[in-house]
Amino acid sequence: MEVEGKKVFQVNFVGVGDQHPQRPEGAEPSVGKSDSKSSAGIDSVFSGGGEMGALMRALDWSQTAVGTVSTWPQSLKSAVRIILASRFAMFVWWGRDLVNLYNDSYSPLLGAKHPAALGKPAREVWGEIWDQIGPRADAVLLRGESTYDNALLLLPERNGYPEETYFTFSYSPLPDDQGNVGGLFCTVTEETQRVIGERRLRLLREIAAAMKPDGSVYETMANDLYSIGWYLAHRKYRYLRYSYLFFLAGFVIACVEQAWRLFMR
């Protein structure tokens, strides 16, 4: 292609998942053979990987875009060894299809998408948020630029419904054996609990500051119900309908409190 930058992207992935370039003409591929040397090589790539190492050994990689493990470039094998040995959440997206490989610490962040996400294109796994993370991946693959986001708001559907989540992560270029960009490497931390917890504390402080010194028990109850309603409304979308009940209850108690004050005058 003549578009600037995209030519390099295409060159980077020549041979990824295709027939091994050094295989003699007419030789049979090794897929499905019980070759002890090949099995030993596969075991060494995925050794010490816990659950994900076992899943990777069991997966038929010939049915994925990266092809059989014996055809993988050494740079990909090394990257997989690194993430499997780490206790920090990491993943690799490799090739023109950005095939997803990840470790044990990352699997909880996938929710119900795990373990089906292994070996799948990243765009297929995270289609609902690709408009946000896709351009960041392009910056790495097309321009060789690293990216960093701190507590980025994303709305993935990890468990069948949109969730308000926050992630701190960095995308970095992952070179292939020729020194070109063959994929990307990511370290990630979920910040959802921290961000929502801090927001909840700010809300409670604001409510406490807004309360009058002579506030009655009813006023305190109403404010508490409002705070619970706000917490549920911001916690998860599936709790939104319950938050209205707390708002309504707080409003009713506030009205009762005001009526009582007027009656006692």
Distances 42 to 14, 37, 84, 223 between C-alpha atoms, Å: 22, 9, 13, 60
Where do the CATH 3.30.450.20 domains begin and end in the chain?
A: 6-18+35-190
Asked if pLDDT for residue 98 goes beyond 50, the answer is: yes
Asked if pLDDT for residue 38 goes beyond 90, the answer is: no
- 248 or 76: which leads in pLDDT: 76
Q: How far apart are CA 140 and CA 175, in angstroms?
A: 11
Largest CA distance in the chain: 100
Q: How far apart are CA 103 and CA 88, in angstroms?
A: 8
Topology at the third CATH level for domain 6-18+35-190:
Beta-Lactamase (3.30.450)
Write out pLDDT tens, residues 202-247: 877 766 666 554 556 656 666 666 666 666 666 555 555 666 676 6
Q: Which two tokens stand for residue 112?
A: 């119900």
Give SS3 for 97: coil
Q: How confident is the model at residue 256, as a pLDDT?
A: 72
Write out pLDDT tens, residues 158-179: 999 999 999 999 999 999 999 9
pTM over 0.85: no
Percent of the chain with pLDDT over 90: 56
Give SS3 for 40: helix
Q: How far apart are CA 108 and CA 96, in angstroms?
A: 26
Q: How confident is the model at residue 242, as a pLDDT?
A: 63
Write out pLDDT tens, residues 41-97: 677 899 878 999 999 999 999 999 999 999 999 999 999 999 999 999 999 999 999
